[in-house]
Amino acid sequence: MGVYAPVKTFEVYEKKHRADPKIFSFDLQGYGTLQFPERNIYCLVGFSGKTMETLKFLDSDNTALIRQIEAVKL
């Protein structure tokens, strides 16, 4: 079948399994690049003890982090 870029592999997976999964991607080097510039893709920079909590947060509401940031009083 050959080697595909991540986006192509993802497309093949979606079609094969008739799925619409969410992808949580981690940028551990801080380069700011996205391997999956599509919908239902969440790119997090770094990894910490709060990462799993953040994943749960995003999985339940994709705007949760935006609303949390907007709630900060400046």
pLDDT values of the chain reduced to their tens digit, one per residue, 74 residues: 445 577 888 888 999 999 988 888 888 876 766 666 667 888 888 888 888 888 888 888 888 888 888 999 98
Residue 25's pLDDT is 82
Q: What is the DSSP letter of 13?
A: H
The answer to pTM > 0.75 is no
For tokens 């551990």, the residue is 28
Tell me the C-alpha distance between 12 and 17, whole Å.
9
Would you state the structure tokens that stand for residue 73, as one six-digit string? 């009083």
Q: Is the CB of residue 65 less than 8 Å from the CB of residue 45?
A: no
